[in-house]
């Protein structure tokens, strides 16, 4: 079963900081019962120490996540942003990337989700596809296209 | 048998993605998993595990002068940008 669900795909999310994006997506995951109520804070704390911005090109992405103990059931929350939001660069933490796609990963056992992770990474490496996703304004349409790729 | 430690923040999600890409890229160069072994850890564990490995690849920023094995930044394994350079280094350093 795919861990991507229609209820957890969001187009054109409005946020001005990475904390706001994290709050929004963590809340959605929590409401859906996928994560514990401590998940959001754990993701925020971890983001400060080990940021998750990926400099994938003109359209950068971020993959906020935390340890498996905060997760009830494997899921991802997928969002495109109305305006780019700064996330710190995973490998060079004093730099930032302008994230336009944010995928919050709630993993229970990543090794059983390897193929999904690989497809997700392939999607991040496809700037044309990211640009296409960025244009979509309808959650259902975004879900449809994303689910064709992961 | 060369041993490579792949590390990320928590040692779970990002390193899994990086390990798979590494394996895939090495395979493209005809280097099979018989020739090396991968380990996975959080960056906090790298120092204590380093003596058991020939190289560490970290997806996060990692500076630690106490580490005696080569440490490579593995972010390109996630973004694909500059991944050949990373694989070149792995192959060269380990003589694969």
Which residue ranges make up each domain of chain B?
Answer: 2-94
Secondary structure (H, E, C), A13-66: ECCCCHHHHHHHHHHHHHHCCCECCCHHHHHHHHHHHCCCEECCCCCEEECCEC
Beta carbons of B9 and A54 less than 8 Å apart = no
In a domain, A113, yes or no: yes
Residue A35 pLDDT more than 80? Answer: yes
Question: Which residues from A are below 8 Å from B73, CB to CB?
Answer: 91
Give B51→chain A minimum CA distance, Å. 23
User: B60: phi > 0 → left, psi -120 to 50 → alpha, else beta; which?
Assistant: beta
**pLDDT top residue among A52 and A112:** A52
Residue A1 pLDDT more than 70? Answer: no
Question: Which residues from A are below 8 Å from B43, CB to CB?
Answer: 50
In a domain, A53, yes or no: yes
Asked whether A42 and A66 are in contact (CB, 8 A), the reply is yes
Tens-digit pLDDT profile for residues A10-23: 999 999 999 999 99
The pLDDT of A81-108, averaged and rounded, is: 97
Residues of chain B with pLDDT under 70: none
Beta carbons of B78 and A121 less than 8 Å apart = yes
Tell me the three state secondary structure of residue B91.
Answer: helix
The pLDDT of A23-40, averaged and rounded, is: 98
The pLDDT of A80-89, averaged and rounded, is: 98
In a domain, A125, yes or no: yes
Q: What pLDDT score was predicted for residue A110?
A: 82
Q: Can you give the pTM of this predicted structure? A: 0.94
Q: What pLDDT score was predicted for residue A109?
A: 87
Q: How many domains does chain A have?
A: 1
Residue the block writes with tokens 């336009």: A100
Tens-digit pLDDT profile for residues A110-142: 888 888 888 999 999 999 999 999 999 999 999
Beta-bridged to residue B40, according to DSSP, are B6
Looking at chain A, the whole-number percentage of residues with pLDDT higher than 90 is 89
Query: Strands B71-73 and B55-58, how do they pair?
Result: parallel
**What single DSSP character describes residue B10?**
S
In a domain, A90, yes or no: yes
Residue A88 pLDDT more than 70? Answer: yes
Query: b or e along A60-85 (b: 16 or more beta carbons within 10 Å of the residue's beta carbon)?
Result: bbbbbbbbeebbeebbbbbbbbeeeb
Predicted complex ipTM exceeds 0.85 = yes
Check CB contact of B56 with chain A, cutoff 8 Å.
no
Measuring CA to CA, how many Å separate A7 from each of A27, A101, B74? 12, 17, 33
Residue the block writes with tokens 């959080």: B42
In a domain, A134, yes or no: yes
DSSP B11-42: SSHHHHHHHHHHHHHHHHTT--TTSEEEEEEE
Query: Among B84, B82, B76, which Cα is nearest to B6's?
Result: B76
**Fold of the domain spanning B2-94:** Rossmann fold (3.40.50)
Question: Which residues from B are below 8 Å from A110, CB to CB?
Answer: 12-13, 16
Asked whether A74 and A97 are in contact (CB, 8 A), the reply is no
Beta carbons of A52 and B16 less than 8 Å apart = no
By CB atoms closer than 10 A (0-12, 13-18, 19+), residue A128 is: exposed
Rounded mean pLDDT of chain A? 95
Q: What pLDDT score was predicted for residue A2?
A: 76
Beta carbons of A90 and B81 less than 8 Å apart = no
Check CB contact of B86 with chain A, cutoff 8 Å.
no
Check CB contact of B52 with chain A, cutoff 8 Å.
no
* Residue A31 lies in domain: 6-141
Rounded mean pLDDT of chain B? 95
Residue A90 pLDDT more than 70? Answer: yes
Give A11→chain B minimum CA distance, Å. 22
Beta carbons of B81 and A93 less than 8 Å apart = no
Residue A96 pLDDT more than 80? Answer: yes
Q: Give residue A93's pLDDT band: very low, low, confident or very high (50, 70, 90).
A: very high
Question: Which residues from B are below 8 Å from A55, CB to CB?
Answer: 75, 79, 81
Q: What pLDDT score was predicted for residue A111?
A: 82
Tens-digit pLDDT profile for residues B76-93: 999 999 999 999 999 999
Beta carbons of B12 and A92 less than 8 Å apart = no
In a domain, A132, yes or no: yes
Check CB contact of B94 with chain A, cutoff 8 Å.
no
């Amino acid at each position: 079963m795919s861990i991507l669900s229609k209820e957890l795909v969001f187009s054109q999310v409005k946020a001005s900081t990475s904390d706001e994006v994290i709050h929004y997506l963590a809340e959605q995951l929590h409401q859906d019962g996928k994560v514990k109520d401590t998940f959001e804070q754990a993701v925020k704390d971890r983001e400060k120490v080990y940021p998750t911005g990926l400099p994938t090109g003109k359209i950068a992405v971020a993959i906020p996540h935390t340890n498996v103990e905060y997760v009830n059931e494997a899921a991802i929350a997928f969002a495109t942003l109305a305006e780019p939001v700064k996330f710190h660069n995973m490998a060079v933490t004093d730099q930032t990337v302008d994230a336009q796609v944010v995928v919050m990963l709630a993993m229970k056992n990543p090794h059983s989700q390897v193929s999904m992770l690989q497809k997700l990474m392939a999607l991040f490496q496809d700037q044309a596809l990211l640009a296409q996703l960025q244009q979509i304004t309808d959650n259902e349409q975004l879900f449809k296209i994303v689910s064709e790729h992961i | 048998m060369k041993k490579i430690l792949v590390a990320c923040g928590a040692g779970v999600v990002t390193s899994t993605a990086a390990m798979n890409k590494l394996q895939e890229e090495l395979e493209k160069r005809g280097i099979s998993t018989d020739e090396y072994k991968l380990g996975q850890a959080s960056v906090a564990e790298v120092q204590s595990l380093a003596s058991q490995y020939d190289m560490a690849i970290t997806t996060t920023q990692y500076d630690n002068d106490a580490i005696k094995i080569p440490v490579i930044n593995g972010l390109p394994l996630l973004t694909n940008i500059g991944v050949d350079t990373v694989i070149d280094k792995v192959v060269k350093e380990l003589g694969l």
